[in-house]
Structure formats: C-alpha cells, structure tokens
Amino acid sequence: MNYHWEWQVFLRDDGSGRTYIEWMISAWGWTLSVAACAWVLALLIGSLIGTLRTVPQRGWQRVGDAWVELFRNIPLLVQIFLWYHVVPAVFTAFKDLPAFVLVVFALGFFTSARIAEQVRAGIQSLPSGQRMAGQALGLTLPQTYRHVILPMAFRIVIPPLTSEAMNIIKNSSVAFAVSIAEMTMFAMQAQEETSRGIEIYLAVTTLYVVSAFSVNRVMAGIEGRVRVPGTIGGGK
Amino acid sequence: MNKTSILIAALFAAAGFAAAASAQELTGTLKKIKDSGKVVMGTRDSSAPLAYTLGGGQYTGYHVEMCDRILDTIKKQINAPAAKTEYTLVTSQNRIPLVENGTVDIECGSTTNNAARQKQVAFGLTTYVTEVRMAVRANSGLTSINQLNGKNVATTTGTTSVQTLRKHERATGVDFKEIYGKDHADSFLLLESGRADAFVMDDNILAGNIGNSKNPRDFIIAGEVLSVEPIAVMFRKDDPAFKKAVDDAIRSMMKGGELDKLYVKWFQSPIPPRNSNMNMPMGNTLKGLLANPNDRPMEDYAKK
C-alpha cells in the first residue's frame, strides 16, 4: 500500500495553541461524560419502568407501556433534535439548559425504553411462584420486588445490559449534531482541517473500541462477582 | 504509380491515422466522461447563491450554472454532446473524499481553494471571492467580533470558518463559546432560534440564508472581515487535461463577459425560491480576477 502515513498530524497545532491529540482526548472526555450520565439516567428510569410493566395494577402498567412505546418508536437522531430544537421552544423552562443536559435526556430516555424491556423480560422469565411465595411469606409487593424478584432478574439480564452500556457509548456519537464537542465531531472537523482522514478516523475508531470494550470487561467482571450458583441466573 | 509514390502515400496515411488516434486519446476525467456517457457534478444544498437546492432534486446557483456551461463546452470538445450531467449532493465533510475516489467528477459549490486541500484535489480558476463575516440579529447591536465575549457563536462543522474563528480567538483573546451546526441551514437555525448570537461564515452564504429566511429584515451581516477566501470548482488532482479544459472554459466566459452577466444574475437580481436579492455588487478582488484569472490558494490572499 503506498499511502503516505503521517501520524505526526496529531502533534500539529490546530490554530488555538492546542495540538490535535489534546483536542482528541478532550473530545473523548466529552463522549465518555455524555455516555456515563445518560447511562445512569437510563438505568434508573429503565429499571423503574420495566418493573412498572410487570406489576398487577393496570394503571401503572399503562404508564410503563406509554413510556416505552414513545421512546422506542422515534429514531434516536430525531429524538435528539426534538429535545434540542422543539422542547425549548415549546417548554420555555428548558430554554436555558445547556446542550449537554438535553443530549443526556435524549440519549438517557431512548436507552431507558430499551432497558425497560430487558428488565421486564428478566422479571417475566422468573417462575410466577417466586412472587407468590414472597407475598405468602408476608412481604408486601414492593418488598417482594426488592428482596426476591429484582435481585434475580438483574442477574439474568446482565448480558443484554452489557450490550446497552456498549450501545450508549456508540450512540453518544449522534451528539455531534447538536454541537457537543465529542469524538465524532472532532473526527469530522479535524479531517477537514488536516486532510489526513485515515489517520484521524483510525485513531477515533480505536478510542471508541477501547471505550466500549472496557465497558464490556467491567460488566463481565460484575457478572462474575454477583453470580449466585444454583439460582436461575447463576449457572455456569 | 511507382514504388516511391506508393511508399509516400502509405507514410502519409500512417501519419494521418496516428494523428487521428492521438487526437482522440483522452485521459483521466475526460476519458471517463466519454466512456461512461455521463459526468457527475457535486453540488450543495444550502450554499445560496453559489449552489443550492430548490427541492425535488433540482440544484441551481451561480456555480451550478457556470459548471453547466463549462461541461457543455467540454462535452462538445471531446465529442460527447449527448453525455448527461448528473447532480449529486455533497457536504462539507465528504466533498473531497468523493472527488478523490471518483464518485464526483467536478464539485461546483462553495469550496475554498487553500494549500492544504491542494494536496488532495485540484481547483479551477478562482471564480468567486468570499469574505468571512458574521450575521447577527439587526436589533442586537453587535458590530464586531470583539463584542462577542462570553456569547455564543455558531458556525458549520467541516468548514474553514471553524479554524478561522479558533485562530482569531487565540490572537485577540476574545472568549466566545462556539456552537457547531451540522450544515449551513442548521447553523442559521441556531441564530434564528436564539441559541447563537452570531453566525460566522462566508458572506455569500450568510446573505443566501438570510434571504431565504422567514424574516430577512431581522438579520444583518456585520463585523470585520476575518478572512478572504478564493472559491473555485474542484476536481481530481493529476489530471492536467481536465484542468486545462475547465480553465479554458472559465477563461473564455470571463473574457466574453458571460461571467459578469452570471454574477449580476445571481448576486444582484431576485433569485429563486423567494425572489430575494442578495444585493452584493462585485468587489474589487473579483473584478481583478476576471481581468487576470488565477488559481492561487487562500494563503496567498492572507499575505497581502
């Protein structure tokens, strides 16, 4: 291959006293921040909504259904634009929020719908006897969920949750469309300025792979440590 | 006839064949156009009035019309008058890769000719000179970039204006927050919706977007000139035959006054879709270029 590699492009100044590699690391920080904040939001809300979809009261079930259907049926990029352009125009309270917060809401709620479905699947894969036994012991329904059902359900759904955690890192790349200075925007702008697209995109791809794979390994570690051998999610 | 005259006749015939063969030996893009029967023009969707879309796959603009005429001349030149022109939308990010890999034969949009890009592509003679300025709301009272301390400034990802702003920030110490739109229409929307206090971009793009907006009178182009940039059409490097063909066509349009008329049509008269008038008389730099065309990059203009 006679492409002339020029890796020193990363040490070049980008016009403001900062080298391209410093800019890339800063962009990586933004990617990880957006992903981490959105993940926390998604996990909390997703677990709640997923649980709501399995409770016996129809009212709560409907709330859960509505949430999931709303955020599952709209593409992520469209949701980001809705949060960034439409919501601040309609609900003026949101006008002064920084773009970062709006992107975290968009990404978080989108992922929460998916997590809700996974948690629901985990709960419903348990034998119904578990809930009945819990209530027969005198536990209230919330207590049964807290002490009996959810511990087992979460252990079951750790693999799909790992996928979602990796997805949220990759999906954070759509934040470039609303001016978050994350890695995809860095790649596009730096490629235009330096004309060294191959080196820039290879470096950014490597960082995405490293980030997603680290999340993968962390979740695998968690999976190993919380495993309870002999229970429904515990077998090797 | 004796043997000598037969030999001479044969030599003339051979020379005639050789001449005919070399006259038809096309290379590079010219060969591609002749063989495939079509030429792909890359163009933009919101760089009015240089190149923009009217919807429904229709593209128009100063550079689009100029390129249509250039390509007509070239098609006649290579004896392929039936070759079709295919219009393809390109963006600031993908215009250079698409030209390099052969998807687009000639890009007629609003691409600045600068030294870094000349390493990857070639440019025709400069046919437009743009100045980077800012658009603000008329009632904001902003008249200079230096008043933007602490404010939000919008610009489009993948354009030279991003780097210009960054250098300016460093040079003058003015600290503003940059917001990036993903294309010119998006960046203008940031200004319109109030997320940005100023939109920094080439003045013709500012004028085009203001002209096409809901209330053009709410916006003005203000501020000092941050950068003078020559805009030209773009095509593959290392293809001297195509460059010569394009340059010759542009030169003849300049000498014949055709480009002047085209300029008036797009910059000083009502243009679709809203019949707005850019009201931008030709500046001295461009007048000088029409008299003495060249394809010098942006860096040469900055040295002045």
Q: Which of A206-220, B22-36, B149-163, B177-191 has the highest mean pLDDT?
A: A206-220
Of B232, B216, B282, whose CA–CA distance to B124 is shortest?
Answer: B232
Instruction: Give pLDDT tens digits for B58-78.
Output: 999 999 999 999 999 999 999
Other C-beta atoms within 10 Å of A18: how many? 13
From B175, which residue of chain A is nearest by alpha-carbon distance? A16
Looking at beta carbons, which residues of chain B come within 8 Å of A195? 96, 116-117, 119-120
* CATH, range B26-129+230-302: 3.40.190.10
Closest CA–CA distance from residue B273 to any residue of chain A (Å): 25
Q: Does any CB of chain B come closer than 8 Å to the CB of residue A61?
A: no
Q: Can you tell me the mean pLDDT for B223-236?
A: 90
Q: Above 50 in pLDDT, residue B21? A: no
Before B49, cis peptide (omega within 30)?
yes
A62, amino acid identity: R
Of A82, A150, A89, whose CA–CA distance to A119 is shortest?
Answer: A150
Q: Please report the ipTM that was assigned to this predicted complex.
A: 0.71
Q: Would residue A1 count as lying in a domain?
A: no
Instruction: Give pLDDT tens digits for A101-148.
Output: 999 999 999 999 999 999 999 999 999 999 999 999 999 999 999 999
From A192, which residue of chain B is nearest by alpha-carbon distance? B158
CB of A172 closer than 8 Å to CB of A38: yes
Tokens of B119: 């390493």
Instruction: Give pLDDT tens digits for B77-125.
Output: 998 889 999 999 998 778 888 998 899 999 999 898 988 889 889 999 9
* Pick from B158, B170, B186: CB nearest A188: B158
How many angstroms separate the CA atoms of B141 and B150, rounded?
Answer: 15
Phi, psi of B227 (to 5 degrees): -165, 140
Task: Quote the number of domains for chain A.
Answer: 1
Q: Does any CB of chain A come closer than 8 Å to the CB of residue B182?
A: yes
How many angstroms separate the CA atoms of B107 and A91, rounded?
Answer: 42
Looking at beta carbons, which residues of chain A come within 8 Å of B167? 15-16
Looking at beta carbons, which residues of chain A come within 8 Å of B97? 197
- DSSP class of residue A19 equals B
Q: What is the pTM of this model?
A: 0.77
* pLDDT for the residue numbered B171: 78
B39, amino acid identity: V
The CATH architecture to which B131-228 belongs is 3-Layer(aba) Sandwich (3.40)
Q: Would residue A138 count as lying in a domain?
A: yes
From B180, which residue of chain A is nearest by alpha-carbon distance? A179
How many angstroms separate the CA atoms of A203 and A19, rounded?
Answer: 14
- DSSP class of residue B282 equals P
Q: The CATH number of the domain where A18 resides is what?
A: 1.10.3720.10
Residue extent(s) of CATH 3.40.190.10 domains in chain B: 26-129+230-302, 131-228
Domain of residue A141, residue span: 7-226
How many angstroms separate the CA atoms of B43 and A135, rounded?
Answer: 68
Q: Would residue A104 count as lying in a domain?
A: yes
Q: Would residue A234 count as lying in a domain?
A: no
* pLDDT for the residue numbered B222: 87
Instruction: Give pLDDT tens digits for A4-43.
Output: 788 888 888 887 778 999 999 999 999 999 999 999 999 9
